[in-house]
């Protein structure tokens, strides 16, 4: 795992140049906004074929989503017969698929469950792991080092390895409910989050904290008033990576909540696959549209942060 | 100062550590122990030595899944990285609307595996319906379906990382090469590729581990059909645990093997590509 350590990227958007860059970090990943300025540059004529190629590719990338949208308005029969035809007089069923599907899988309940679990898990992960990472960096003891290595190690362990025992432990401890699962997510998210926070905090100069302590701040106030604001860029990255993961996660909530009536969005979608593998594709299309809309809105609203977060978080194993 | 912080150990470290132990450390250790036992619940395990491992390798489903996963991983790692790199090259040229293209190419990545699986199930079955078959007709349909799905999902993500890498290539080097009369292709091979090696390391690592550990997409797209022919390792392990009676021990043994393979692949790959990186 030592190999990964040298790759801690630097996200430094507050213009605090150099100061917080970890010293051992030799390869900087520049999170460039350069592309933004390029838009205005004039295109050369030899680049026009490439431009056309890109447009074609963009259409190919968007097509699946448009197909889903189109088919969500078609009746069941027409979907399997002619999936690529536009809905016409016969096949058009309006919003029937939406109302029917939403009722069948309890879409809005599932949506709220997903929002609840994602928001609180991400918040808990940010607060707890950043505190833990600060402790690991500032208290140089064997157990801090051990904890750090275990966190890094946990990133390469596939979920199936711990799946069965974890499910049993969680149900013995009564963590198999909407609140308990948040705590389980803290455990699974800890590896990457601690790893990223430690990488950043190592570059934060000790002097600032010492000054705060001398002025009479206890460790708790020092952390929340002085250190935490500095961690903001990394916190955003960690939040985005974890939010994407938890929102889309299927297996963990299925194992912990499957026995109860509580469903997250991915579980609700999977619920449309019937017992014998039969799938109501018309309802499915409508539910997929409904579940994609919030993601698209979220993406368009925080696109800048998401793309920065992806580049910065590319260390994840 | 260290002493002052240390006194706050319960507040700063305990929540994370307790959660980490409950959901990762303890299950991991139990998992290794349980793979040598026969058990139904974790409390009534009976030691059986390595018989779970021999059973796992005698299981044709497991061997088949392993083989399918390896083939899938090789194909998707190559296609995803080549296409993503080419796209990144295109998008770092002075072309209009690079931002819009970047936005579009990245979007599929935000959609979850289950939903992705059903989107492509509809499309692939739609195409195949013109030939009067469906995706469960032949294992190779499922295979290529998964490859296409994975490409659609991950190309944008890898492209973003490659773009960051390419923008980081020193313009001085490229200018020097221009003066020496290097062709565009020479510049690409001799300068750009070695300079973006860190990005290549990260991207191969991510595609490799993501393809190998694929579960949701596999479950939604084919669920292993026809039969168990398109079942990948993660799904096979899941089905061994929850689909068969008295096979939990074997499932856990399979999971340990799976973990070892993933760890070995990840570490070797990091070591190999790291050694090719140039110091900038």
Is the confidence at residue A234, as pLDDT, over 80? yes
**Alpha-carbon torsion angle B228, B232, B235, B238, nearest 10:** 90
* Same domain for A162 and A131: yes
Mean pLDDT within B251-266: 93
Specify the higher pLDDT residue, A6 or B151: B151
Helix or strand holding residue A258 (H, E): none
The predicted pLDDT at position B182 comes to 86
The number of angstroms, rounded, from the C-alpha of A274 to the middle of its chain's C-alpha atoms is 29
Distance CA B146, CA B218 (A): 7
Count of other CB atoms within 10 angstroms of residue A210: 12
| Contact criterion met (CB below 8 Å) for A47 and A55 | no
pLDDT exceeds cutoff 50 at A42: yes
Among residues of chain B, what percentage have pLDDT more than 70?
Answer: 98
B124 pLDDT higher than 70 = yes
Q: What integer pLDDT is reported at residue B270 of this predicted model?
A: 77
Phi/psi for A25 (5° steps) reads -80, 105
A128 falls within a domain: yes
In angstroms, the separation between the Cα of residue B180 and the nearest Cα of chain A is: 23
Distance CA B78, CA A151 (A): 30
Residue B279's pLDDT band (boundaries 50, 70, 90)? low
Domain CATH code at residue A252 = 1.10.3720.10
- Opening angle at CA B205, ends A296 and A61, nearest 5: 30
Query: Within a 10 A sphere around the Cβ of A130, how many other Cβ atoms?
Result: 27
Q: In the listed set A94, A126, A160, which residue is the last one of a domain according to the structure?
A: A94
pLDDT of residue B15: 93
Least trusted range by pLDDT, from A88-92, A243-247, B33-37, B186-190: A88-92
Answer yes or no: is A228 within a domain: yes
Average pLDDT over residues A39-67: 82
Examine the fold and report which residue of A94, A115, A133 is the final residue of a domain before the chain moves on.
A94
Residues A116 and A71 in one domain: no
Question: In chain B, what residues touch A129 (CB-CB under 8 Å)?
Answer: 16
Look at residue A185 and give its three-state secondary structure.
helix
Smallest Cβ–Cβ distance between A317 and the set B7, B108, B209 belongs to B209
A281 and A246 in one domain? yes
The C-alpha atoms of residue A4 and residue B274 are separated, in whole angstroms, by 10
- Single pTM value for the model: 0.85
Grouping H, G, I as helix, E, B as strand and the rest as coil, residue A273 is: strand
CA distances from A128 to A82, A155, A177, A253, B23 (A): 52, 18, 21, 21, 15
Q: Is B2 exposed, middle or buried (0-12, 13-18, 19+ CB in 10 A)?
A: exposed
pLDDT at residue A84 above 90? no
| pLDDT exceeds 80 at position B199 | yes
Question: Is the domain of A192 the same as that of A264?
Answer: yes
What the block records as the tokens of B102 is 């970047």
Asked if A88 and A126 sit in the same domain, the reply is: no
A190 to B20: CB separation less than 8 angstroms, yes or no: yes
Q: Is the pLDDT of residue A231 over 50?
A: yes
- B27 chain-A contacts, CB cut-off 8 A: 162-166, 169
Chain B hits for A171, CB-CB cut-off 8 Å, are: none
Q: Is the pLDDT of residue A277 over 80?
A: no
Same domain, A68 and A153: no
Q: pLDDT per residue over B29-82, tens digit each?
A: 999 999 999 887 777 888 888 888 999 999 999 999 999 999 999 999 999 999
Q: Is the separation of the CB atoms in B157 and B88 below 8 Å?
A: no
First to last CA, chain B: 37
Q: How confident is the model at residue A27 (pLDDT cuts 50, 70, 90)?
A: very low
pLDDT of residue A26: 40
| A4-13, A40-49, B238-247: which is most confident | B238-247
- Asked if A67 and A289 count as a contact pair (C-beta separation under 8 A), the reply is no
Nearest to A264, CA basis, from A107, A158, A119:
A107
Which of A98-102, B61-65, B133-137, B227-231: highest mean pLDDT? B61-65
Among B124, B175, B173, B115, smallest CA distance to B148 is for B124
Considering only CA atoms, which of A98, A121, A284, A255 is closest in space to residue A176?
Answer: A255
pLDDT band at B233 (very low <50, low <70, confident <90, very high): very high
Whether A286 is covered by a domain: the verdict is yes
Residue A7 has pLDDT above 60, yes or no: no
Residue A276 has pLDDT above 80, yes or no: no
Structure tokens at B170: 């020193």
Quick one: which of B260, B254, B265, B276 has its CA closest to B63?
A: B254
* Mutation choice for A interface testing from B23, B38, B43 by most A CBs within 10 A: B23
A209 vs B contacts (CB less than 8 Å): 1
Please indicate, yes or no, whether residues A73 and A166 belong to a single structural domain of this protein.
no
Query: What share of chain B has pLDDT > 90, as a percent?
Result: 48
DSSP secondary structure letters along B8-48: THHHHTHHHHHHHIIIIIHHHHHHHHHTTEE-SSGGG-EE-
B94–A43 CB contact, under 8 Å? yes
Lowest mean pLDDT among A2-6, B56-60, B241-245: A2-6
Q: For chain A, give the number of residues.
A: 317
Q: Quick one: A266 and A305 in the same domain? A: yes
- Best residue in A187, A189, A190, A316 to probe B by mutation, most B CBs within 10 Å? A187
Is pLDDT at A265 greater than 60 in this prediction?
Answer: yes
On the question of a cis peptide bond just before residue B226, with omega within 30 degrees of 0, the verdict is yes
Last residue of a domain, one of A94, A128, A162: A94
Do residues A218 and A315 both lie within one domain?
A: yes
User: How long, in residues, is chain B?
Assistant: 280
Kindly state the average pLDDT of the residues A187-207. 91
pLDDT at B105: 92
pLDDT at A81: 65
Picking from B20, B18, B1, B25, the residue whose alpha carbon sits closest to that of residue A134 is: B1
Q: Average pLDDT, whole number, for chain A?
A: 82
Average pLDDT over residues A37-45: 57
Span A275-291, average pLDDT = 83
- The secondary structure element, H or E, covering residue B137 is none
CB B65 within 8 A of CB B233: yes
Range of the domain at A70: 45-94
Number of domains into which chain A is organized:
2
B93·A50 Cβ contact <8 A: yes
Q: Is residue A39 part of a domain?
A: no
ipTM of the complex: 0.89
pLDDT at A160: 92
* A84 and A216 belong to one structural domain: no
**Is A53 in a helix, a strand, or coil?**
helix
Same domain, A52 and A123: no
Residues B185-212 as b/e (b if ≥16 CB within 10 A, e otherwise) read eebeeebbeebbbbbbbbbbbbbbbbbb
* Per-residue pLDDT at A161: 93
| Residue B49 falls in which region: left (phi positive, over 0), alpha (psi -120 to 50) or beta | left
Res. B91: pLDDT tops 80: yes
* pLDDT above 60: residue B251: yes
Give all domains of chain B, ordered by start, each with its CATH number: 2-34 (no CATH), 52-276 (1.10.3720.10)
Q: Mean pLDDT throughout A157-184?
A: 92
For the segment A214-230, what is each residue's pLDDT rounded down to a tens digit? 888 888 888 999 999 99
Do A196 and A117 share a domain, yes or no? Answer: yes
């Amino acid at each position: 795992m030592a190999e990964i350590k040298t790759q801690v990227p630097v996200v430094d958007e507050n213009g605090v140049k150099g100061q917080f860059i970890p010293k051992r970090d030799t390869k900087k990943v520049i999170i460039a906004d350069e592309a933004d300025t390029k838009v205005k540059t004039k295109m050369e004529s030899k680049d026009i074929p490439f431009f056309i190629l890109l447009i074609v590719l963009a259409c190919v990338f968007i097509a699946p989503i448009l197909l889903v949208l189109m088919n969500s308005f078609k009746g069941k029969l027409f979907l399997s017969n002619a999936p690529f035809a536009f809905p016409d007089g016969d096949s058009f069923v309006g919003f029937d698929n939406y109302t029917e599907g939403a009722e069948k899988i309890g879409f809005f309940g599932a949506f709220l469950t997903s929002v609840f679990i994602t928001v609180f898990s991400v918040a808990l992960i940010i607060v707890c792991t950043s505190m833990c990472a600060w402790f690991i960096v500032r208290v140089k003891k064997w157990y801090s080092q051990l904890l750090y290595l275990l966190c890094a190690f946990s990133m390469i362990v596939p979920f199936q390895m711990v799946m069965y025992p974890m499910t049993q432990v969680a149900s013995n401890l009564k963590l198999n409910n909407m609140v308990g699962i948040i705590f389980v997510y803290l455990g699974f998210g800890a590896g990457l989050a601690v790893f990223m926070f430690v990488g950043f905090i190592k570059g934060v100069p000790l002097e600032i904290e010492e000054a705060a302590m001398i002025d009479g701040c206890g460790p708790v106030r020092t952390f929340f008033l002085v250190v935490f604001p500095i961690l903001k860029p990394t916190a955003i990255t960690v939040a985005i990576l974890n939010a994407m993961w938890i929102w889309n996660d299927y297996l963990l909530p299925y194992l912990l909540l499957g026995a109860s009536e509580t469903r997250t969005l991915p579980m609700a979608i999977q619920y449309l696959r019937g017992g014998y593998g039969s799938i109501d594709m018309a309802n499915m299309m409508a539910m997929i549209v409904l579940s994609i809309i919030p993601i698209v809105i979220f993406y368009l609203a925080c696109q800048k942060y998401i793309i920065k977060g992806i580049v910065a978080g590319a260390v994840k194993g | 100062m260290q002493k002052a912080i240390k006194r706050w150990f319960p507040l700063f470290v305990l929540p994370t550590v307790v959660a980490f132990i409950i959901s990762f450390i303890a299950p991991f250790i139990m998992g290794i122990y349980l793979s040598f036992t026969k058990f139904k619940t974790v409390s009534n395990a009976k030691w059986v030595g390595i018989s779970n491992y021999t059973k796992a390798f005698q299981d044709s489903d497991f061997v088949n899944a392993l083989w399918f996963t390896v083939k899938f991983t090789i194909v998707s790692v190559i296609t995803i990285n080549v296409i993503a790199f080419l796209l990144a090259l295109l998008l770092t040229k002075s072309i209009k609307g690079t931002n819009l293209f970047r936005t579009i190419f990245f979007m599929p990545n935000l959609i979850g595996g289950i939903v992705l699986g059903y989107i492509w199930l509809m499309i692939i079955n739609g195409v195949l319906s013109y030939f009067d078959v469906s995706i469960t007709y032949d294992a190779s349909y499922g295979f290529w379906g998964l490859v296409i799905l994975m490409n659609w999902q991950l190309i944008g993500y890898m492209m973003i990382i490659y773009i960051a890498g390419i923008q980081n290539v020193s313009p001085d080097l490229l200018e020097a090469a221009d003066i020496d009369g290097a062709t565009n292709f020479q510049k690409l091979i001799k300068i750009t590729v070695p300079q973006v090696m860190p990005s290549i390391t990260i991207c191969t690592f991510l595609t490799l581990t993501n393809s190998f550990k694929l579960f949701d997409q596999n479950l939604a797209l084919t669920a292993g059909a026809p039969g168990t022919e398109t079942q990948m390792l993660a799904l096979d392990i899941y089905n061994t645990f929850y689909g068969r009676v008295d096979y939990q021990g074997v499932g856990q043994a399979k999971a340990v093997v799976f973990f070892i393979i993933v760890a070995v692949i990840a570490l070797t790959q990091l070591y190999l590509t790291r050694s090719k990186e140039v110091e900038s």
